[in-house]
């Protein structure tokens, strides 16, 4: 009897916080998206009106389009760079830990600092541009390219994460496979492409999923780097929610946008779950 109570005490905080904070506030936010709440959560029921308004909002449409461009560029760039780093570090004869430490350190830097550094690097007057003495790096003032500049900064931060995840999986592969490939004279690049990387596809899928999730919620990076500009060129959904919650005082619309974020994450989670089943893990 007393033991039951002790167990209950141990589990109570997690239980209460999960139900109250995570489930409760989420349901509350979704509920608010069906009301006309402005600054205070006291609006009345308006059905799907906020969603209609949301999808007629030019800034929201721009945010979603930008997110699509960002997510594709960021995920591909991170995966590509990450896998390249895996191969390089994996083949490095010495200092493997040192290399890994170098490629993973951006992950320990705050998104705010990362955004600022890349803003300086791509700044037309003091940045890389000044080195090459001409056009080419003024991405941040170009509405078509700015979002890819943010994706580049994001990939700089995340490539190391992909590397760490895939490298760990690679270490789990039976060394006999490598030895056999080397004995058969299979070129190194083929060994990776046809033999080793397929073996770690579970890790690759997991990394892709993590990257996609990170893309959907990116906020700090863009605040520090471009603050949404030039124009609406780097506005993103997570930033839209923050702006309508705390600056524009339109809780109903912000909640509708947040609910769209939730749907995105839910779709990604479902896709990840399906992919995990398909890769047999």
| Cis preceding-peptide flag for 142 (omega within 30 of 0) | no
Give the number of residues written for the chain: 281
73: region left, alpha or beta (phi > 0 left; psi from -120 to 50 alpha): alpha
Binding another protein (rule: CB under 8 A), the pick from 269, 270, 274, 278 is: 269
Binding another protein (rule: CB under 8 A), the pick from 126, 134, 135, 144 is: 126
Please say which residue, 114 or 151, places its beta carbon nearer to another protein: 114
- Kindly indicate which of the ranges 56-64, 69-77, 83-91, 173-181 contains the residues binding another protein, using the contact rule CB under 8 A: 83-91
Which residues 127-146 are close enough to bind another protein by CB under 8 A?
127-128, 130-131
For residues 220-239, one letter each, b for 16 or more C-beta atoms within 10 angstroms of the residue's C-beta and e for the rest, the string is: bbbbbbbebeeebbbbbbbb
Smallest distance from another protein to CB 56, Å: 21
**Are residues 257 and 60 in contact, defined by beta-carbon separation less than 8 angstroms?**
yes
Question: Bridge-partner residues for 45, per DSSP?
Answer: 35
> What is the spatial distance between Cα 83 and Cα 107, in angstroms, rounded to a whole number?
16
DSSP string, 191-221: IIIIIIHHHTHHHHHHHHHHHHHHHHT--HH
Smallest distance from another protein to CB 177, Å: 20
Which residues 241-260 are close enough to bind another protein by CB under 8 A?
241-242, 245-246, 251, 254-255, 258-259
**Are residues 277 and 202 in contact, defined by beta-carbon separation less than 8 angstroms?**
no
Which residues 18-57 are close enough to bind another protein by CB under 8 A?
18, 21-26, 28-29, 32, 41
Closest CA to 269 of 205, 218, 201: 205
Which residues 194-233 are close enough to bind another protein by CB under 8 A?
206-207, 210, 213, 216-217, 219-220, 223-224, 227
**Contact between 181 and another protein per CB under 8 A:** no
Token digits of residue 247: 């600056």
**Contact between 15 and another protein per CB under 8 A:** yes
> What is the spatial distance between Cα 265 and Cα 271, in angstroms, rounded to a whole number?
10
Please say which residue, 14 or 144, places its beta carbon nearer to another protein: 14
Which residues 153-172 are close enough to bind another protein by CB under 8 A?
156, 159-161, 164-165, 168
Binding another protein (rule: CB under 8 A), the pick from 48, 52, 80, 91 is: 91
- Kindly indicate which of the ranges 54-62, 63-71, 100-108, 142-150 contains the residues binding another protein, using the contact rule CB under 8 A: 100-108
**Are residues 256 and 44 in contact, defined by beta-carbon separation less than 8 angstroms?**
no
Please say which residue, 3 or 144, places its beta carbon nearer to another protein: 3
């Amino acid at each position: 009897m007393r033991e039951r109570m002790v167990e209950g005490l141990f589990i109570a905080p997690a239980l209460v916080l999960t139900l109250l904070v995570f489930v409760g506030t989420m349901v509350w936010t979704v509920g608010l998206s069906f009301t006309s709440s402005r600054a205070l959560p006291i609006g009345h029921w308006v059905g799907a009106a906020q969603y209609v308004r949301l999808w007629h909002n030019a800034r929201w449409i721009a945010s979603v389009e930008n997110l699509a461009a960002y997510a594709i560029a960021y995920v591909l760039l991170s995966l590509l760079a990450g896998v390249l780093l895996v191969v390089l570090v994996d083949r490095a004869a010495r200092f493997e830990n040192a290399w890994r430490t170098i490629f993973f350190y951006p992950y320990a830097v705050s998104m705010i600092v990362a955004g600022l550094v890349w803003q300086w690097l791509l700044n037309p007057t003091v940045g890389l541009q000044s080195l090459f003495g001409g056009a080419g790096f003024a991405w941040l003032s170009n509405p078509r390219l700015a979002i890819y500049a943010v994706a580049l900064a994001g990939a700089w931060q995340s490539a190391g994460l992909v590397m760490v995840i895939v490298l760990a999986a690679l270490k789990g592969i039976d060394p006999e496979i490598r030895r056999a490939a080397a004995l058969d004279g299979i070129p190194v690049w083929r060994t990776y492409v046809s033999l080793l990387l397929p073996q770690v596809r579970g890790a690759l899928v997991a990394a892709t999923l993590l990257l996609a999730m990170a893309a959907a919620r990116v906020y700090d990076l863009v605040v520090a780097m471009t603050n949404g500009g030039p124009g609406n060129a780097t506005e993103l959904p997570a930033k839209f929610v923050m702006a309508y919650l705390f600056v524009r005082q339109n809780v109903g619309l912000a909640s509708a946008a947040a609910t769209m974020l939730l749907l995105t994450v839910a779709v990604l989670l479902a896709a990840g779950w399906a992919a995990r089943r398909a890769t047999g893990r």
